[in-house]
Each structure stands twice: as C-alpha cells, then as structure tokens.
Amino acid sequence: MARIYFDHNATSTLRPAARAAMIAALDAGNASSVHAEGRAARALIETARAHLARAFGVKPELVVFTSGATESANMVLQPALAGYACETLLIGGGEHPCVTAGHGFGAACPVALDGDGRLDLADLRARLAGAVAPMLALQAANNETGVIQPVTEAAALVHDAGGVVVCDAVQALGRIDCSFEATGADVLFVSSHKIGGPKGVGAAIFSRRAVMPAQALLRGGGQERGKRGGTENVAAIAGFGAAFQDVCATGADEMVRIGALRDRIEAEVRALAPEAVVFGANAPRLPNTLAFALPGLPAETLVAALDVEGVAISSGSACSSGKVAPSAVLAAMGIAPEISRCALRISLGWPNNEPEGVAFATILARVRHRMQRR
C-alpha cells in the first residue's frame, strides 16, 4: 500500500490546480516591469490577490503577499499601526512560535488556556483591565490540538477596550469559517502550504487601512504598494491563488468528509486503547485534527515505528518534532509532562480517504502491541 500521509497541519499535499498554476507561472517576468512579460506576471499576482480579497470582503490593496505566516506575524504584530499606537501585546497561551517570538513589542503577556485548550475569557478580561492600548494575537485554531479559539468573544472584549485583534488563521483557512465577520478580527494572516498550495508564500489580510503597520517590515523596492519590498515570487503566489480557489470551491464538502474520517479514526483509537487521552475533547475542534496520547508509549518512538510502517503522523507540532522538548501548548493546558511526551497528532487533508483510516487503525494496533511487549 502507498504511504499514508496524516500530517496536513505540518504541510498539506500540493493540490493539482496549484501545481499546474505554478508550472504555468515559472517563466513569468518581473511583475514590476511595464513590458508584456511584466504585465503578464502582474496579472497572475493580481488574480490571486483578487481571489483572497473577494473571499474576505476587502479591497485588493488590503491583501499583502508575504513569504508565509511567519513573515506575516512579524509584519503585523507591531505597536505602530497606521491608525493606532498599541502599547500592550496580549497573546493566547497556545500561540505558534511565529507569534511568541516574532512580534515587535518589548514583551508579550500570555492569556491562560483552560484544560481543553480554549482561551480563558475571564483571564483575558482581567488582563485587559490593566492594559493600555492593547493588541491581542489569537489563533483561530491550534496547530497541535485543532482546538478552535473563541476569537469572536475575545475580539468583542478587546474592541470594548479600544484595542486591535490579530488572528492567526493558518490552520483555520479552508477548514472552518475564518472570515472577518466570523472572527471579529481586524487583521488575519494565512499560509499557502497548509491548504495545499506551495510553501514559502502567505498573506496578511487587513480589514481596513488603519490596522496596517505604519512601517513595512521588509523595505526595498516598494512592492506590494510599499508594504513588502522584494520581487514577488510569482509562481508561488499563483499557486497559492489556485489552491485557495480550489479550497473555496470544494472545502466545505471536503471538510464534512474529512470530519467523518477523523471521527472514525478517533473512535478506533478509543476502542483500541481505552486509556487514550484525547486533547481538547470537550472543545470545538478542527474537523481534520486529532491529538491524543497513549500513556506509557513515548510519542517519538511511536512516530518512528509508524513511519517505518508507512504512516506519517506527528508528535506535537511540526516545528517542535525532532526535538524532545515537551509541547508548550499542552503545558499551557495543564497536561502532565508524562502524558505530554506521549502526544501524537493526526491531521487529515484533501487526499485522505476511508481505506487509509482503516489501514491506519490496523497499523496502530500492531505497533502498539509490539511496543507494549517490549
């Protein structure tokens, strides 16, 4: 049997439409040139921008292409915005390192998570009480657990305090509604490779000019209307645009199918191992993600054994896999280290299907049995 790839929160499989769009764009000119080759490149970029702008209900100039979510976070998490001077940065307790390490404030104040990984709104309220000109960075959904954050409720509190909300919608895009209306956020950022587009491209999407950074992070030739210098990666942007269009056309149906597959795998895991701990089990979760631990079986060993059997899953987030450091997200949820070190993440994507779910359950049972015997 072909390998089973269940690690779409790390990176999803390239969609055929994205591959075709990239190949077609590889010979494009420089989008800043005025000649026909340049204008053709410009048209590819503006088509991709128009897809995103239309879907998010904003003018095209409010969509800025970047090299991915990490750059977007570094770009937007700045105190000086066009229409605001933020002084305090509050961040959700389970944010990605691109937020915790990528912001431009002197310090960030984490807001607690509850035991299911949801932001503690009472803690947010308390922290807002003492905050001057706050900015909140809160992800729409967590990459490790798939837990969906109460962004709408949090945004209402931050807006009442006169603040600005930046939402990391990387894992939410194409999986749940992460529009400005649904989240109440002022700024969203997204990444192409999590939706089946190419790696190394993403976007920051602004609800209005006032929440754009006062100064560009990358200063240079004035590309992206002065918001992001550097010659645009035309093929990557075109691939991102094509993947996004594909997701808009098929995403809702795809997620119903994937959600059913995830539920089936979760039921199989619970049947196989009643001692399994499912993280965020009582919270709303992304339909594609299942994070769980099999107590007593270290995740690193299990992931390696499954890999040998042809299954790709992850222990914790991709950024921390390979390192044995315990997950900061699980620690923020109050999960004990001996459980956390057994944490596994299955994240499904568009190519996955029912036979893979069945095969996975069989392989997991075999590997678990072998490890227990040792």
What is the DSSP pairing of strand 134-139 with strand 88-92? Answer: parallel
**Backbone φ, ψ for residue 19 (5° rounding):** -60, -45
Contact call for residue 191 and ligand PLP (CB under 6 A): yes
Binding test (CB under 6 A) with ligand PLP, winner from 168, 186, 232, 254: 168
Binding piece for ligand PLP, criterion CB under 6 A, among 41-49, 68-76, 109-117, 173-181: 68-76
In the annotation, is 342 catalytic?
no
3-state secondary structure 26-70: CCCCCCCCCCHHHHHHHHHHHHHHHHHHHHHCCCHHHEEEECCHH
Of the candidates 167, 178, 319, 342, the residue annotated as catalytic is 319
In contact, 101 and 119? CB cutoff 8 Å: no
Least distance to ligand PLP, CB of residue 34, Å: 31
Contact call for residue 98 and ligand PLP (CB under 6 A): yes
> Binding marks (x or -) toward ligand PLP, 300..329, rule CB under 6 A?
------------------xx----------
Least distance to ligand PLP, CB of residue 170, Å: 4
Contact call for residue 171 and ligand PLP (CB under 6 A): yes
**Residue 1, CA distances (Å) to 35, 249, 278, 309, 346 in order:** 50, 30, 28, 10, 19
- For the chain, strand residue ranges (E) read 4-5, 63-66, 88-92, 108-111, 134-139, 164-168, 187-191, 202-206, 277-278, 289-293, 311-312, 343-347
Taking the least distance from each CB to ligand PLP, the nearer of 49 and 368 is 49
Contact call for residue 170 and ligand PLP (CB under 6 A): yes
Binding test (CB under 6 A) with ligand PLP, winner from 69, 128, 306, 342: 69
Contact call for residue 218 and ligand PLP (CB under 6 A): no
Q: Which residues bind ligand PLP (CB under 6 A)?
A: 68-70, 96, 98, 139, 143, 168, 170-171, 191, 202, 318-319
Give the residue numbers marked as catalytic.
Answer: 319
